[in-house]
Amino acid sequence: MSEVSEWLRLLPLLGILALLGYLTIRPFLPKKKKQRDSLINLKIQKENPKVVNEIDIEDLNSANVCYCRCWRSKTFPVCDKSHLKHNELTGDNVGPLILKKKIL
Ligand code: FES
């Protein structure tokens, strides 16, 4: 019985040693690989941490404007129909966001 209580007294010390050991070897543990094959954006503004486009709806001049949702457009954020080739090659079914303006 006294052996068990002696071991129990060592638990905090063992916990601290385990934590220190983990913190010591953590920099050398393998890091998670980025899953390149799951990227949606392959080449648009890759230097930015986040691609954000802002369009003032009041500035829309034509009745219909198509915005890219496949991230393959060479005129991003405007759709250039690159989604057609992407869909043909991959079997995907993406298409643009079409904003329609009512002409009064
Ligand atoms: S080019 Fe991307 S949706 Fe048309």
> What integer pLDDT is reported at residue 22 of this predicted model?
93
**Residue 57 belongs to a domain:** yes
**Residue 27 belongs to a domain:** no
- Number of compact structural domains in the chain: 1
Closest atom, ligand 1, to C-alpha of 73: 1
Residues 60 and 99: beta-carbon distance below 8 Å: yes
85 is catalytic: no
> What integer pLDDT is reported at residue 1 of this predicted model?
57
Q: CATH no. for residue 76?
A: 3.40.5.90
Confirm or reject: Cβ of 76 under 6 Å from ligand 1. no
Select which of 32, 33, 50, 102 is catalytic: 50
**Residue 8 belongs to a domain:** no
**Residue 70 belongs to a domain:** yes
**Residue 2 belongs to a domain:** no
> 68 C-alpha to center of ligand 1: Å?
4
Confirm or reject: Cβ of 86 under 6 Å from ligand 1. no
**Residue 18 belongs to a domain:** no
Strands (E) across the chain are located at: 64-67, 97-100
Q: How many CB atoms lie within 10 A of CB 68?
A: 23
**Residue 29 belongs to a domain:** no
**Residue 11 belongs to a domain:** no
Domain that holds residue 86: 36-100
Residue with token string 């079914």: 93
Confirm or reject: Cβ of 70 under 6 Å from ligand 1. yes
> 35 C-alpha to center of ligand 1: Å?
23
| Local confidence pLDDT in tens for the 104 residues of the chain | 578 888 888 999 999 999 999 999 998 888 776 666 778 999 999 999 999 999 888 877 778 899 999 999 999 999 999 999 999 999 999 999 999 887 77
